[in-house]
Homo-oligomer: A and B are copies of this chain.
Amino acid sequence: MKNQLPDNIKKDIKEIENDNTSGSVELAKKSAEIIINLVNQTGDLEQIKKASLSLVEAQPNMASIFNLVNNLMFYIDKNKKQQLKKIVTNYCKNYLNNLENFEKKIKDQAINLIKNRARIITHSYSSTVLGTLLFLKESKKEISVICTESRPKNEGIKLAKELGKNKIKVKLLVDSAIFSLIPYADIILIGGDAITENGLINKIGTKGIATVAQHYKTPIYALCSTEKLLPKKYPINLDHLKNPNEIIQYNISNVTAVNYYFDLTPLDFFTGFITEKEILKPEEIKEIIINLKIHDNFSDLLSDEDLDIPLI
């Protein structure tokens, strides 16, 4: 079949789909590499479109992947007189460069915001948060960090290890214990997988932390470049359930383990969003989102449904 993707590409996309531990930026980088590989193998636009759609479907909540391929489609439309291989390769390389620059710019914003001796709370694992905390340390700011385990996959322990290895003092708590410390922290920094007009999509538990932070007026910032922003009608899927064995490994009569990975936190709960441009307020994020467009390649995905997790 002409439109069937090559086996190696299918395998790579499957790996993206099964990747439960990498952050959004890492997955976007891998996706860009898959697209570059594909255009080198085939040079066929239909295949590029098909792979783009498959990548979005593999990790529908990862905005960086969607923005990579959505903007690629618009870029191809605009430059259709050039050779496809050249367009795609240039675009992807540029996107990857941008991602790295964005991280640097986020760190620069953060260092101005965070005072010396700050007691910082974070949740789960975010490569942007990790990079920023390490940059604070390199910049001779004394910080201490409070990490959550982040059940079921314990990515918070992974973050704690990286911070500890770099001589940052860390307190590690079970997820439920973080609320008691929120009133005493100077700032809460979290990552984010995507931002829609309805809220920030991030690792499960963010919603509780942000609600309590708002109650106690503890400043809470999401570290997100604007390539995490998603247009209206983009079909976020929060009730996509993961393997229940990550919660319990045996059967209990009448008990169903329900394994959500992500939750949705209203944008207004955040003090601000540290982006590559500047620190944006919730209403500024909403204004940007209104103007985002979805390419026709993804029109079959569009949804009018409400985004929050329904009670299953």
Contact = CB atoms under 8 A, between A and B. Distances in A.
Contacts of A263: 176-177, 179-180
A264 to B, nearest CB: 7
Given A184-B310, A310-B184, A152 B169 contact: no
Contact of A160 (B150, B165, B252): B252
A142 B204 CA distance: 29
B180 A252 contact: no
Contacts of A149: 151, 247
For chain A, give the interface size range: 35 or more
Give the number of copies in the complex. 2
Contacts of A310: 184
Interface string A270-312: 0000000000000000000000000000000000000011111
Contacts of A27: none
A87 B195 CA distance: 67
A29 interface: no
A286 to B, nearest CB: 20
Nearest to A159: B255
Contacts of A39: none
A257 B185 CA distance: 17
Contacts of A257: 171-173
A119 B258 CA distance: 15
A33 interface: no
A72 to B, nearest CB: 32
A151 to B, nearest CB: 4
A254 B167 contact: yes
Given A181-B309, A212-B208, A175 B160 contact: no
Interface of A: 119, 147-152, 157, 160-161, 163-165, 167-181, 183-185, 203-205, 207-209, 211-212, 214-215, 238, 247-248, 252-260, 263-264, 308-312
Given A176-B205, A177-B258, A178-B208, 19 more contacts: A149-B151, A151-B175, A151-B176, A157-B248, A163-B254, A165-B253, A170-B256, A172-B256, A173-B247, A174-B175, A175-B175, A177-B260, A179-B207, A180-B204, A185-B311, A208-B209, A208-B211, A211-B212, A215-B215
